[in-house]
Structure 1
Amino acid sequence: MAGAYAELVRVPNLFTAPPDVILGAALAAAAGIGAEPSPLRVGGLAAASTLLYAGGTTLNDAFDAPIDARERPDRPIPSGRVSRRAAFELGAAFLLVPVGVAFVVAGRPAAVAAGLVAAAIVAYDGLLKGSAAGFLAMGATRGLNVVLGTTAAGSVVLESPIRILPVPAVVTGYIAAVTFMAARETEGGSRGAVAVAAGGAIAAVLAVGWSLVGGEPSGLEAVLAIAFVAAFGWWVGRPLRAAYADPVPSTVGPAVGACVLGLVLLDAAFASVVGVGWGVAAGVFLVPAVGLSRAFDVT
């Protein structure tokens, strides 16, 4: 039973959520506005973010149960290991509880940000999936997750939007592109979808380069950021190349999974521009994510 619920929430993917929050806190610290992000606030918001992700994956499978019964009958709901009703109830709880956690940890701005993440999740899972708006909604869940991290320092997004929002926008675009590819995972045969995801990854790499030029990091920070973004390019580049060469479910699926886990490296690259500690704190989450991906599916 525990294994079924672990599959439902995509356990490996849960470890990709805290790096978003850590990146957001790093951006807030770099802006120099508001309170200094404390470990307690960042940790609490990371926990809220993880619950939000679990709610998103759970509701995704609950809404998709009829489709999965045809295309993925081994998933927890169509296989009968988890009831659809239980999935809806659990997913709703996973979205409501973190809003309260965020409020307790970092006040009203954090609760608002967590609520926006939850709203984007519901919009994608229940209303917009498969459409252009849906791809953007999925991307927005991760971009807003970064914004959630900035609330560890208060309402810095409202006080310094130009300095804060470009990075969440890059994360949004990257995940939207990956979601576009993922929507065609079971079909195969779409090199265009793989090319869109590759374009999103290339744009993200270029954005890290731009942040290095404009951010004036120290030598060590620059080296670490370059190392992380190079690792990101290698991590997603190999499976994307394989999927483009032969776009079938057996290659597209792993490419989607690699791109999802690769977000940890992208977050770490951006965070490293702000500080070595921020980058390492984000990047370390790749270890449990990859380890658990050997036992549980990422997509």
Structure 2
Amino acid sequence: MTPSFADLAELVRLPAVISVPGDSLAGAAAAGWPAGARTAFAPAAAACFYLAGMALNDYSDRELDAVERPERPLPSGRITPRYALALAGGLTGAGLLLATGLGRRGFGVAVAVAAAAWSYDLLAKPTPVGPLVMGAARGLDVMLGACGHRAALPAAFATGAHTVAVTALARGEVNGSDPVTGWSAVATTASVATATVVGTLVGERRAHWRDAVATAGLAALYGVTVGRAQAAAATSPDAGTVLDATRRGIKGLLPLQAAQLAAAATPLAGLALVGLAPVMQRLARRIATT
């Protein structure tokens, strides 16, 4: 039996994919749009890799989910493990095919993104290095838009650090976390927000004052919305509070990406990303993002 669209959307956490395109757009902007119009292939490919990773995540966790989250598509029997694995493979192939439009360097980064995603779900997730591998995958998403150009490395490191913190805290979604993990996430968020603003004020690529102001405002929005939820999880690290902080961490990628775009002299694109946050929130009320 073919799964319904609703079941597939739940499997791949469809609302959360809204948080993905901004990564590669921020990287492209930081590197001066090296792929030109072909940059459009980057967010499309990254979205495919993300959706593949979500399907593969549930395939890998199907036995654990049967105990902790039996309502999910695989343990509930609405989608078979074989179908989830085939979907993950097909989406990964689609992402790589799209990435060929970015040229050899871009395709090479795409291969690295796919490898990081599969490594995380099949090998690294339950290990201490799991959050680092997930952070590498999101950081490589940024480099995908930049076709590997070094100018995008600060944005990639910022996105990767944010993802490491969110992923480490997310491990407590079912059984709770601990204050150290929560406060570490708060410190990471504050550092990422600060570094994003400082980057517009120093160095050879200092931003125009209008872009710097926009960057500061968007970075503050990111820092406050994400950091406040993480502080709540640090103070009371029960499963419900940690789950809320994780969801806000995913949604918080939008203002972070917007700040990075503003820092690269494309503030209007950043504001457009922030405008997607209500759409993501509305969809998340029907379909889980974690």
Q: Give the TM-score normalised by structure 1.
A: 0.90
The runs of at least 4 aligned residues of structure 1 exceeding 6 Å deviation read: none
Q: CA, structure 1 residues 127+51, in 2 after alignment: closer, same or farther (shift >3 Å)?
A: same
Q: Tell me which protein shows more helix as a share of its residues.
A: 1
1:175 partner SS: helix
Give the residue type in structure 2 aligned to 1:249: A
Q: State the match for 2:206 in structure 1.
A: 216
CA gap of 1:108–1:263, structure 2 versus 1, over 3 A, is: same
Match of 1:121 in 2: 117
| Corresponding residue of 2:24 | 21
1:107 counterpart residue number? 103
Query: Which residue pairs with 2:279 in the alignment?
Result: 288
Q: Percent identity?
A: 32
Shift of 1:189: 4.5
Aligned partners of 1:173 and 1:200 also within 8 Å: yes
**Do the aligned residues in 2 keep the contact of 1:180 with 1:193 (CA within 8 Å)?**
yes
Q: Aligned AA for 1:55? A: A
Is 1:23–1:149's contact at 8 Å kept on the other side of the alignment?
Answer: yes
Match of 1:229 in 2: 219
For the residue of structure 1 that corresponds to 2:31, the secondary structure is helix
Match of 1:61 in 2: 58
Supply the distance in 2 between the matched residues of 1:84 and 1:225 (Cα, whole angstroms).
44
Q: Distance in 2 between matches of 1:134 and 1:277?
A: 35
Superposed CA offset, 1:248-291 (max 9, x none)? 11110010010011011111111101112342344343243222
Of 144, 169, 179 in structure 2, the residue corresponding to residue 181 of structure 1 is 169
SS in 2 for 1:74: coil
Q: Does 1:44 align with 2:41?
A: yes
Gap runs ≥5 in structure 1: none
User: Does the 8 A contact of 1:178 with 1:200 survive in 2?
Assistant: no
How far apart, CA to CA, are the structure 1 residues paired with 2:27 and 2:47? Answer: 15
- The question of whether the paired residues in 2 share the 8 Å contact of 1:19 and 1:285 is answered with no
Asked if the contact 2:109/2:143 (under 8 Å) is kept, the reply is yes
Q: Trace 1:1-299 onto structure 2 (pairs within 5 A).
A: 1-29=4-32, 34=34, 37-38=36-37, 41-103=38-100, 105-151=101-147, 157=149, 161=150, 163-214=151-202, 215-275=205-265, 276-299=267-290
Paired with 1:74 and 1:267, the residues of 2 have a C-alpha distance of 33
RMSD: 1.6
Number of residues paired by the alignment? 284
Which segment drifts farther, 85-94 or 269-278? 269-278
**Contact in 2 for aligned 1:189/1:247 (Cα 8 Å):** yes
- Counterparts of 1:228 and 1:294 in 2: how far apart (Å)? 24
CA contact (8 A) 1:19 1:283 kept: no
CA contact (8 A) 1:44 1:101 kept: yes
Structure 2's unaligned 5+ residue stretches are none
Contact 1:180 1:196 in 2 (8 A): no
Contact (CA 8 Å) 1:55, 1:94: kept in 2 or not?
yes
The DSSP-based 3-state class of the residue aligned with 2:271 is helix
- Comparing both chains, which one has the higher relative contact order based on Cα–Cα distances under 8 Å and sequence gaps of 6 or more? 1
- 2:142 and 2:130 map into 1 onto residues whose CA distance is 19
Separation of aligned partners in 1, 2:217 and 2:255: 9
**Contact in 1 for aligned 2:190/2:227 (Cα 8 Å):** no
- Looking at structure 2, the residues matched to 28 and 224 of structure 1 have their Cα atoms a distance apart, in angstroms, of 19
